Amino acid sequence: MISKHGYKVQKRQFALLLIISVALFAIIFLFSLSATLSEWYMRGVYPILAAILSFISNLFPFSLYDIFLVVAVLLLIKLVVFTIIRKTSFLKFLFLLIRFVTVIVAWFYFSWGIAYFREDFYDRTDITEMTFDPEIFRDFAVRFIARANLCYTDCADLDRQEARREIELSYRRMHGMLRITYPNGKRKPKPMMFESVYSKMGVSGYFGPFFNEIHVNDYGLNFAYPFTLAHEMAHQFGIAAESEANLYAFVVCSLSGDEKIRYSAYLSTLRYVLSDTRKFLPDEYESLVSSIRPEIIADLRRNREHWLAARDEALSEVQDRVYDAYLKTNKVSAGQDNYSQVVGLLISVDDIFTEWPL
């Protein structure tokens, strides 16, 4: 039984926590309303936080993000269980729950999540968005396939360490054109602690915002590795939208001096181009597919079969729904479909990026 004095102390602590929580959530809401303010934060404050967090995480060979998630879940379970067993007062339970949620949400947004509220690619780069036109798209698809055919190479002996160095070099060389702050911390890929589970869900990589960590699934095939790594690096640079991360990955890989990395860019993006071709040019889909080198078709098929072999239907569906809801909550209205919107970005920048020197 809590004393009267103890109850007053709890009430004061609860009131203080509410004030802090409301203030933090109000600031986050303010950022969500202002792309200009969010852009300032991601350009001026985030690079400092990224440097600090990535320095700390790089001291450890394992994923702090994965451990953080496990600990967070265990703490939440402990909170509920102890409340029931010890018959904790509702006020104390609410206090602990609000504190837990506030810490997680504030840490997520101020460490990286504000990236969801920043200006989009067109505003950041002053590039004009191309209005969709079937003829323009058809011409782009034909050119893209032609380039992909020229880029084909066997990636069986890809050196992943060397690929990491080359992609880092590409980001350093092109950061001005891409409107990103460099170096923006360190980008050392971490192994996934639960790789088999992520493989069953079809997750090839992810960025851990709490400790600024990049993760790439080693289950992925060699020809997809450079693009996946470059995509997760884009997130670490403060690019939240999946379509924009795909664009950045394509640019830094396709303009790389390494032929295997260039091929990874075209192969990994080709499936989005073909998906839009089937959607917008259904009558020309078969003829465009027939123009693709058989070796590339074989790699696309091999990649699909490789992931299907590990796929767990139930886990994959849950992951898709959760991530779709997560994206939509953070102002990515297209949800998971945002990945494929990279094609519109590529069409808008095609003439610009192809003119950049290697």
User: Tens of pLDDT along 159-216?
Assistant: 999 999 999 999 999 999 899 999 999 999 999 999 999 999 999 999 999 999 999 9
DSSP state of 257: S
pLDDT at position 353: 61
Q: pLDDT tens-digit profile of 31-47? A: 999 999 999 999 999 99
pLDDT at position 264: 98
> How many other C-beta atoms lie within 10 A of the C-beta of residue 247?
26
Task: Give the lowest-confidence range in 46-50, 119-123, 320-324, 335-339.
Answer: 335-339
pLDDT at position 229: 98
Q: pLDDT tens-digit profile of 97-132? A: 999 999 999 999 999 999 999 999 999 988 888 888
Taking the mean position of all CA atoms in its chain, how far away is CA 289?
A: 29
Question: CB pairs under 8 A, 24+ apart, for 276-281?
Answer: 276/137, 276/141, 276/340, 276/343, 277/137, 277/141, 280/132, 280/134, 280/137, 281/134, 281/137, 281/138, 281/141
Distance CA 28, CA 112 (A): 12
Give me the residue label for tokens 């001096």: 257
- The mean pLDDT of the chain is 91
Q: What is the mean pLDDT of residues 66-77?
A: 95
Token pair of 10 as six digits = 């709890």
Q: Is residue 108 a contact partner of residue 209, using CB atoms and an 8 Å limit?
A: yes
Q: pLDDT tens-digit profile of 271-295? A: 999 999 999 999 999 999 999 999 9
Distance CA 219, CA 205 (A): 10
Q: Which of 228, 241, 248, 236 is nearest to 334 (CA)?
A: 241
Instruction: Find the farthest-apart pair of alpha carbons in the chain and give their distance in angstroms, rounded.
Output: 80
Q: pLDDT tens-digit profile of 129-151? A: 888 889 999 999 999 999 999 99
Distance CA 255, CA 270 (A): 16
pLDDT band, very low/low/confident/very high, at 243 (cuts 50, 70, 90): very high
pLDDT at 334 over 80: no
pLDDT at 355 over 50: no
Q: Is residue 167 a contact partner of residue 226, using CB atoms and an 8 Å limit?
A: yes
Q: What is the pTM of this model?
A: 0.93
pLDDT at position 5: 58
Tell me which amino acid residue 303 is: N
Helix (H, G, I), strand (E, B) or coil at 353: helix
pLDDT band, very low/low/confident/very high, at 332 (cuts 50, 70, 90): confident
Cβ-count burial 218-235 (b if 16+ within 10 Å, e if not): ebbbbbbbbbbbbbbbbb
pLDDT at position 213: 98
Distance CA 233, CA 171 (A): 9
pLDDT at 74 over 70: yes
pLDDT at position 307: 96
